[in-house]
Structure 1
Amino acid sequence: MHLVDLTMFYPSVTGGVGTYLSAKSRWLRSHTGIRHTIVAPVSRRSEIEKHVVSIPGMTIPGSHGYRIPLPLPMPVALARRAVERLEPDLVEVGDPYQCAWSGLQASRRLGVPAVAFYHSDLPVLVGQRFGRIAKRAATRYVASLYPHFDLVLTPSACMVAKLRKLGITRVERQPLGVDTKVFAPEHAHADLRAKLGLGADTRLLVYAGRFSREKRLPLLMQAVRRLGKPYHLLVIGSGPELTSFPQLTRLPFQREPARLAALIGGCDLFVHPGDKETFGMVALEAMACGVPVLGVNAGGVAELVDGQSGMLVEPGSVDALAQGIEDIYRRDMRSLGAMARERMLCHYDWSRVMPQLIHHYSSLVGANQHAALEVRPRYAID
């Protein structure tokens, strides 16, 4: 059994697609007989491993490391031929651009199933940057592309509902996961407050991710300013400059997951003000670190957090965020963090998530491939 993933989003400086593909590749090698190959416009030789096939690409300025396949303007045939030469039994695409059409064409020529993983809400992203007309065009594009796939996977129930509303019927929820050995309470930075020059009594909040518009980070910053001392906000990530104020500390994007885990684990509370998340993997990473999460009751994050692992507040409101932060500190934060970790282990460890993915693949391949898709029993619940 040979599975090929095709995407322009591997590897990138930020983003969940690269994390998903790297975790999938490691897990498949350890737990199944599936051969896995990633086809992507990889730039650095150090990132071209045995299971990675590089196609020509060009870095997109300001895109946090994303690369568009070449040659322009018609790179579809080049990527298609790369996939065809690999002769896969199933093709999965991880972006809605040229790679999607390349993967579709290759799958049809080879006579194998094509799966699309819909990681991001394209119409929302386009609309926030280019306005309503562009959003409507992106919506029509999504509605025209994804019905061609044998199966569309997306990480949250809210995105399943959106896609089905567009007439895409072959769509299923497939959550992503977290490496709960890397993101774990024992790796927390024990003296983070001292390293940041903060007092021991500081109530330390953290946000990690891109500083893009859809993350609604200014709302959180306003809430922290309104609360005043002893609250302090640590933001970790990349994006435009942020308005500086005494209760804000900014750290750059952490390429090493272990470093990010240590920073998040050294804080009291992870806060995510975004209401357009398709999933919210960084919120899961915080939960895996034993840190409770305050999110908003909209988007993918709302499906991850319950009353035992954190809190949800009204979206788009500075007042609601400020009140929620105050309210959650009145609860037993240690107990919330422990329950957040437990929820992660039960539902979102990669060893829980990957067998679900294998089940989706099994529904598409022929009977002769089913043996290779069996998960080795001794790893089924680790």
Structure 2
Amino acid sequence: METETVTSVPQADAAPLIVHVVRQFLPNRGGLEDVVANLAYQTIKHGYRVRVITLDSLFTSRDNKLSTHETIDGIDVVRIPWSGSQRYPIAPQVFRHLGDAAVIHVHAIDFFFDALALGRLLHGKPMIVTTHGGFFHTRKYATIKKLWFQTLTRMSARAYKRIVGCSVSDLEQFRKISPRTSILIENGVDIGKFADSASLKPQRRVTTIGRFSVNKRLDHLLDVMLILKARNPEWHLDIVGSESDLKEADLRREIQARALDSTVTLTVSPDNDSIARLIGGASLFASASEYEGFGLVALEAMSAGLLPVLNGNAAYCGLAAKHPLLRLADFSDPQAAADTLESAYLALSIDPAGIRLALMQEAGRYSWQTVAGRYFSVYDSILSD
């Protein structure tokens, strides 16, 4: 799951420096990392300098320390030590690398969001934050999360010039604590990565892409495939992604327990070309995820020409409201979700070319050039204050 390939652009020493602060970055692969990398690339092309401050190890390999400084396609990457949990990694050395920043851009609501707000008198830099779903990724500890949001998060939010919700659901959530500064900039999509790669002929083959996380509810998707297999043995599922709180062995056990070895293919940490080849045999995309910050992967699927069938979480409901071709399903009800996937396949069979073209055109609205321009307007506004 790589970022867009771009030509490196030298950073002019006199240009304003945008410092992105994010807990995980390249070489890790995932939605958050891709967003920051693609925005950073576009920002350099726009004429700013860019630095990314991130943690010095990946959550999937905590003991393997990465280089403390690296340049990746023109992006200055600084990695700092950390302690604590993956959800709230503590890394106070972030303050050492902010002195020449023109704007600090924090990504996600975690330690960095709170610490940089608390230390704003120390660093004295204007800040914005992109929410990336906040910390409501699961219903676990819901009461504590709501209390935290209404207290510490509310207090920290006062330090930020702009709070950028990357989905309508995020915007609605953060307007409750910061109505004046909350704005909407939906995430960009690398629409060239898998462009037009889905099967031209309708196939009973489904692709799902993303981290192997509990909240993605791949178990629900496997239950759906069990039903579809019984209805028609041509149905097949490709699970594509990287290990997270679920490991490859965990998923293989789930697949074997349902006797789906011939119906489900598991591909771990492939590159983009490999993913595109897998998409080439499929017509549908599915996500049973309980929570998404934005739904980036669904839009990438649309750019490929895959018809998405999505669990009805807040982010996916927001996407479906704007893109009626998307299908919503309750993946906790395997029979109903199986019906929705079959219905999506039948719709494709009637008008494969028309649906494919419409999906790709709608995904084109989220190109990174367009989305990055909205961020540049925010940066310029803050710098001109």
SS in 2 for 1:39: strand
Q: Which residue of 1 aligns with 2:372?
A: 354
Which structure 1 residue ranges, 5 or more long, are not aligned? 70-74, 191-199, 368-382
1:48 is matched with 70
Against the structure 1 CA distance between its residues 270 and 25, is the aligned structure 2 distance closer, same or farther, given a 3 Å change threshold?
same
Which residue pairs with 2:3 in the alignment? Answer: none
Partner residue in 2 for 1:321: 337
Unpaired stretches in structure 2, ≥5 consecutive residues: 1-15, 57-64
Paired residues for 1:283-298 under 5 Å: 283-298=298-313
Q: Which moved more, 1:177-186 or 1:147-156?
A: 177-186
Distance 1:108 1:267 in 2: 53
Who is 1:212 aligned against? 213
Match of 1:221 in 2: 222
Deviation at 1:222, TM superposition (A): 1.3
Which deviates more, 37-46 or 148-157?
37-46
Query: Whole-Å Cα distance in 1 between the matches of residues 199 and 326 of structure 2?
Result: 21
State the AA in 2 paired with 1:339: A
* Alpha-carbon distance change, 148 to 98 in structure 1, aligned in 2, over 3 angstroms: same
Measure how far apart 1:102 and its partner are. Answer: 4.4
Which residue is 1:279 aligned to? 294
Are residues 1:366 and 2:384 paired?
yes
CA separation of 1:55 and 1:250: change in aligned 2, threshold 3 A: closer
Deviation of the 1:17 alpha carbon:
1.9
Confirm whether residue 234 of structure 1 aligns to residue 238 of structure 2. yes
1:26 aligns with 2:41: yes
SS in structure 1 opposite 2:98?
helix
RMSD of Structure 2 on Structure 1 (CA): 2.9
Deviation of the 1:121 alpha carbon: 3.2
- Relative to structure 1, the CA distance from residue 165 to residue 68 in structure 2 (aligned partners, 3 Å threshold; closer, same or farther) is closer
Q: CA deviation at 1:28?
A: 1.8
User: Which residue among 103, 116, 123 is the counterpart of 2:129?
Assistant: 116
Shift of 1:165: 2.6
TM-score (norm 2): 0.78
Contact persistence 2:118–2:156 (CA under 8 A): no
Is the contact between residue 308 and residue 336 of structure 1 (CA under 8 Å) also seen in structure 2?
Answer: no
- 1:249 and 2:265 matched: yes
Which of 130, 135, 147 in structure 1 is aligned with 2:145? 135
Is 1:37 the counterpart of 2:51? The answer is yes
8 Å contact kept, 1:234–1:248: yes
Aligned equivalents of 1:361, 1:307: Cα separation in 2: 30
CA deviations 1:43-79 (Å, max 9, x no partner) are 4349810532424325889x6xx9945xxxxx42x21
* Alpha-carbon separation, structure 1, partners of 2:187 and 2:283: 24
Question: In terms of mean alpha carbon deviation, does 39-48 or 165-174 score higher?
Answer: 39-48
2:29 aligned to 14, 23, 26, which one?
14
Other structure's SS at 1:185 match: coil
State how many pairs are aligned.
340
Counterparts of 1:358 and 1:304, CA distance in 2: 24
The code of the aligned residue for 2:335 comes to D
Match of residue 176 from structure 2: 165
Output the amino acid matched with 2:286.
Answer: V
Match of 2:5 in 1: none
SS at match of 2:299: helix
1:91 equivalent to 2:104? Answer: yes
